[in-house]
Structure 1
Amino acid sequence: MSVAQKFDAIIIGCGQAGPPLAGRLTAAGQTVALIERKLVGGTCVNTGCKPTKTMVASAYAAHLARTGAEYGVSTSEVSVDMQAVKARKDKVTVDSRAGLESWIAGMKDCTLFRGHAHFEGPHEVRVGNELLHGERIFINVGGRANIPDMPGVNDIEYLTNTSMMEVDFLPRHLVVVGGSYIGLEFAQMFRRFGAQVTVVEKGPRLISREDEDVSESVRGILEHEGIALRLNAECISFARHPDGVTVGVDCTSGDRAVTGSHVLLAIGRKPNTDDLGLDRAGVATDKRGYIEVDDQLRTNVPHIWAMGDCNGKGAFTHTAYNDFEIVAANLLDNDPRKVSDRIEAYALYVDPPLGRAGMTETAARKSGRKVLAGQRPMTRVGRAVEKGETQGFMKILVDADTRQILGASVLGTGGDETIHAVLDLMYARAPIETLQRAVHIHPTVSELLPTIAIELKPLA
């Protein structure tokens, strides 16, 4: 029977919350075991934000080169070297991961264990031949692509957001199954690289959690670039084909199948919790496998916390990092921060991007509040006109009684940055009058926010 190595804290997973928590704990004089079974940095650094947004930038460069004549710039025929695109993406990822590994290596009293972790008891975690004992344990294991049990899915070769990172060629025809955030980013990206692209979505519209006007605007942007959309695909199935893969869509209109050279499955994510031995620690999960936590990210076991994608409280790098901040504030700073203090905010990185904060219009209506709304198309935003990027719109929602901002959507050039002007006011709990009286810099996209705030009208 092996003797356990004892640590003040065990952190399982080196995603966005794990290493910074290790840094805070070791700085406070605690000994930490940090465990990673694959690549330091988690999804964001290796298969998510860093690499995909690097590829989005390459796709944008290709698109801008093709449309150069619209700006008075002559360009020859544009070609895309996918091996060079991948090499650029790989360098950004490797450099980021190397920086993180160097930081971890420099932490005093932090030991990095490489391998798969599983619980052997409430305080014991095994990694290979090593048995570790932690007074406190923090789970930060992230998530992975969800592969539903659709007919024929096990008979074909398919891509996920992870395996897409290894693609160094241009698919002839990429069929993307899933019309939400991950799928749409890859769809536009590879269309701009030069592939034929079809998006298959089970629902009646794209990005169904967004308001219908946002969904329709994004649909128009993608169709304008030549991306085929097959919505209402109720019975999705797969079969091998001499030219690649046939995807049965059984839509209400159009052909009943699409044949592509490659298929990308972008149908949600699932937590990496099924092989941790959580039952041996007594840690409770919900029916989808997410670890149940309270408002300060503690599980039902008092000395165990769960951070990041695996707790179901957020699915983004920024929410995972905020999870670290909440845990550290409560444990080390006597600062009772809570998950419920967080305002939902995120972006969709199609071009132009969508920046979102707070409630959607649909949610605001359902809340029973009296709601005021202001909206402005990007065609009336000087900065967008000057850049020749006038697709999209901006919308702000306000509680008519309290004058508090409820939410905002900015679909348009710079939307992922502009949204923060509204988000910060929401965190400050400032009334809409603060935005109405603000003087923003001209010419910017943000300068129209005060104008929209002044032009609020009751929702019809």
Structure 2
Amino acid sequence: MRKFDAIVIGSGQGGVPLAKKLAKAGWQTAIVEKRWIGGTCINDGCTPTKSMIACGAAAHVIANSQEWGITVSDFKVDLEKIVQRKNKVVESFRGGATKGMEKTEGLSIIYGEAVFTGEKTLNVILKDGGEEAITAPHIFINTGTLPKIPPVPGLDTIKYLTNTSIMELTKLPSHLVIMGSGYIGLEFGQLFRRLGSQVTIIDRGKQLLKHEDEDVAAAVKKVMETSGVTMHTGANVQKVEQIGDTIRLQFTANGENLTITGSHLLVAIGRTPQSTSLQPEKAGLALDDKGYFKVNDQLETNVSGIYVLGDVKGGPEFTHISYNDYLVLYKRLVNKEDTSIKDRPVPYCMFTDPQLGRIGLTEKAAKEAGYDVKVACLDMTRVARAIETGNTQGFMKAVINANDDKLLGVAILGPEGGEVMSVMQMAMLGGITAKQLREMIFAHPLYSESINNLFMTLEK
């Protein structure tokens, strides 16, 4: 049995930098990866989807070029070339991450699938054949999640798509039906509509993006419908079946029985943790009722010395949170700092066009928490930069604590919404008040300059 100081299972956005930093700190470290270095973000998530979304944005500008006084008589979408471009970007990112790990002294990369055999022992079924037993006093789990597949009658008999397989299509779907209206469903829905597919989204929730305020969710729905996407909310799929080359879904929505037929079906109802395949029970590790590892505010499980990073612990499932998990653990274990994930800010961005950037509390959550709130809203039709660029969909919203004039939360649905949200995040962390933001000098005519006008709405 090979002995290490630390073993990292999974090479996602938390596992890779943690393994490298531990090795550089003198810990003999092993990282076990069953597939590719980089985890979901590089291989199946952020990197490939945003690469393809950029192509969708280009198609949208060309298709609507007359709005900017440019006439394009005809254009063609080559999905195969779009996928090739995406693959090139992914391979570049993955290759860079792999090379960085390979040249790190004290770090061993083991390709294979790990399972616990005891509290601090693992058996790895090697990718190239054979097995290897390894052990370490410190074990870090960074195995992420997989697409969640619902128990819909007939679904197991058809060739449905997931967020991974849809990006390997080389022929454009004539009609893409999507189950689920979370970030994955909405981003892919708008992307394929822009590339030329008919798109229908079916979701169980009565409101899109159930964690957002109703006005934000309604505005996002309007964006999708304006893009040409058909939306069915409050829907429950009863049956799925293959009819020749098409897929037929029977569902109920708002008391009606409906049927829809599409060429392809994307299942995007959520994610499920990759935890049980590790055989955590052999290490005595506790899972919650959804299969996520239970951790404390220091990311430690119920077994001393075993920690969890990223999506497989539940909570906010974002790449940047996984990366911050690594910082929390490294600072705590190596630098002996008193770090914790408690009360950390959770910014996020949905990459529809326009983007939805979010940080802090929603208006609803702030009121439920007992705050006396003020709300500032500014439509993007009143933002100079948005008017000049011809991108006026969406609005800006800020929730303010009326007692101290500081920000509680922000939603920016607009062009570069994530970038504007990040400016507001810095203001929140710095304790800057709404009045200060209203009077702050921003370069003209940036989108961020509209922050002045957003808080001027409070003067009415």
3-state secondary structure, aligned to 1:364: helix
Q: How big is each residue's C-alpha offset from its partner over 1:284-319, in whole Å with a ceiling of 9 and x where there is no partner? A: 110001101111101111100000000113201100
**Partner of residue 39, structure 1:** 36
Picking from 182, 185, 200, the partner of 1:183 is: 185
Picking from 5, 30, 34, the partner of 2:27 is: 30
3-state secondary structure, aligned to 1:439: coil
Cα offset for 1:452?
Answer: 1.8
Counterpart AA for 1:12: I
Contact 2:12 2:142 survives alignment (8 Å) = yes
Counterpart AA for 2:239: S
Picking from 280, 283, 287, the partner of 1:281 is: 283
**Partner of residue 13, structure 1:** 10
3-state secondary structure, aligned to 2:4: strand
Contact 1:378 1:412 survives alignment (8 Å) = yes
3-state secondary structure, aligned to 2:110: strand
Q: Does 1:61 pair with 2:58? A: yes
Cα offset for 1:453?
Answer: 2.3
**Partner of residue 260, structure 1:** 262
Cα offset for 1:243?
Answer: 3.8
What percentage of aligned pairs have identical amino acids? 39
3-state secondary structure, aligned to 1:210: coil
Q: What is the distance in 1 between the residues matched to 2:314 and 2:205?
A: 23
Q: Does 1:432 pair with 2:434? A: yes
**Partner of residue 327, structure 1:** 329
Q: Does 1:48 pair with 2:45? A: yes
**Partner of residue 376, structure 2:** 374
Cα offset for 1:253?
Answer: 6.3
Q: Does 1:112 pair with 2:109? A: yes
Alignment of 1:185-264 (within 5 A): 185-252=187-254, 256-264=258-266
Picking from 94, 115, 127, the partner of 2:91 is: 94
**Partner of residue 319, structure 2:** 317
Counterpart AA for 2:359: A
**Partner of residue 402, structure 2:** 400
Residues paired across the two proteins, number: 455
**Partner of residue 450, structure 1:** 452
Cα offset for 1:457?
Answer: 7.1
3-state secondary structure, aligned to 1:238: strand
Picking from 141, 163, 174, the partner of 1:139 is: 141
**Partner of residue 128, structure 2:** none
Contact 1:243 1:259 survives alignment (8 Å) = no
Which stretches in structure 2 are left out of the alignment for 5+ residues? 126-130
Q: What is the distance in 2 between the residues matched to 1:259 and 1:166?
A: 22
Alignment of 1:331-370 (within 5 A): 331-370=333-372
Deviates more, 1:317-326 or 1:248-257: 248-257
Compute the RMSD of aligned alpha carbons: 1.3
3-state secondary structure, aligned to 2:159: coil
Q: What is the distance in 2 between the residues matched to 1:242 and 1:50?
A: 34
Counterpart AA for 2:64: T
Counterpart AA for 1:134: A
**Partner of residue 151, structure 1:** 153
Cα offset for 1:133?
Answer: 0.9
Contact 1:243 1:260 survives alignment (8 Å) = no
Counterpart AA for 1:389: N
Deviates more, 1:291-300 or 1:237-246: 237-246
Counterpart AA for 1:268: G
Q: What is the distance in 2 between the residues matched to 1:429 and 1:47?
A: 37
Cα offset for 1:361?
Answer: 1.3
Q: What is the distance in 2 between the residues matched to 1:214 and 1:306?
A: 33
Taking structure 1 as reference, are residues 254 and 60 closer, same or farther at Cα in structure 2, changes over 3 Å only? farther
Cα offset for 1:433?
Answer: 3.4
Cα offset for 1:123?
Answer: 1.1
Which stretches in structure 1 are left out of the alignment for 5+ residues? none
3-state secondary structure, aligned to 2:156: helix
Cα offset for 1:389?
Answer: 0.5
Contact 1:9 1:137 survives alignment (8 Å) = yes
Cα offset for 1:86?
Answer: 0.2
Picking from 53, 69, 73, the partner of 1:72 is: 69
Contact 2:112 2:124 survives alignment (8 Å) = yes
Q: What is the distance in 2 between the residues matched to 1:348 and 1:148?
A: 23
**Partner of residue 80, structure 2:** 83
Deviates more, 1:190-199 or 1:400-409: 400-409
Q: Does 1:302 pair with 2:304? A: yes
Taking structure 1 as reference, are residues 229 and 91 closer, same or farther at Cα in structure 2, changes over 3 Å only? same
Counterpart AA for 1:300: N
Contact 1:384 1:445 survives alignment (8 Å) = yes
Contact 1:314 1:320 survives alignment (8 Å) = no
